[in-house]
Chains A and B, each alone.
Chain A
Amino acid sequence: GAGVSQTPSNKVTEKGKYVELRCDPISGHTALYWYRQSLGQGPEFLIYFQGTGAADDSGLPNDRFFAVRPEGSVSTLKIQRTERGDSAVYLCASSSGVEERTAIDPLTYEQYFGPGTRLTVT
């Protein structure tokens, strides 16, 4: 089946503008994650959805960042008043949420990543 898809693949915007980044998870995956990756760094967690609700938004850097997942499938990451420091690759991942019976933590998931959206703020 199809993997995680993200649109657009590239987005160039001017400082101060508003942007929306979209993620389509693997069909049937209940968990969805957003990460941000700056050049030469590993991805950094932003927010995690379980179904429609944000289970953990501790990684959002400030209140200019917001994400929604209204129907429990597609998610949109919204950035207001963009700054040059927001330039990065924004990655989305999804996981099945299937309970791993042998795991110490029954909520251990494997995450599958999309190709990312490269955001450039000029």
Chain B
Amino acid sequence: SQQGEEDPQALSIQEGENATMNCSYKTSINNLQWYRQNSGRGLVHLILIRSNEREKHSGRLRVTLDTSKKSSSLLITASRAADTASYFCATGGANSKLTFGKGITLSVRP
């Protein structure tokens, strides 16, 4: 079963614009992670935020976590054509397995 629900399912923006993707989950978590996937293969880990953190930055990425609303957002600033990919949020439970959402397809038009 998949716990995370990303929103929107697909996003198309112009290069240089910011992209905001949201994720909601259902049960309590220890951490939440965002991954990128190109061409249906090769998940790349982007960022991990723990349940006691509210915001985290990594380069052009900004992740927020609101455990009271059971939601997270991923912001990509100054998007580039190379950011075109599918993005997944995943929640980690106490036994460390990840539960993924269905993903968001991001298209960045040059």
Residues of chain A whose beta carbon lies under 8 Å from any beta carbon of chain B: 31, 33, 35, 37, 39-45, 48, 55-56, 59, 89, 91, 93, 95, 100, 102-105, 107-116, 118
- Shortest beta-carbon distance from B85 to chain A in Å: 13
Residues of chain B whose beta carbon lies under 8 Å from any beta carbon of chain A: 2, 4, 30-31, 33, 35, 40-45, 48, 50-52, 88, 90, 92, 94-103
Total A-B residue contacts, Cβ distance less than 8 Å: 87
A55 touches which of B43, B95, B103 (Cβ 8 Å): B95
**Chain A residues positioned under 8 Å from B48 (CB to CB):** 108, 110
Q: Name B's interface SS.
A: strand
| A108-B50 contact given A48-B97, A91-B43, CB 8 Å threshold | yes
Asked whether, in the complex, the Cβ of B41 is within 8 Å of the Cβ of A89, the reply is yes
Asked whether, in the complex, the Cβ of B45 is within 8 Å of the Cβ of A42, the reply is no
| A44-B100 contact given A89-B40, A113-B43, A116-B41, CB 8 Å threshold | yes
Q: Name A's interface SS.
A: loop
Residue of A nearest to B3 (CB): A42
Asked whether, in the complex, the Cβ of B97 is within 8 Å of the Cβ of A56, the reply is yes
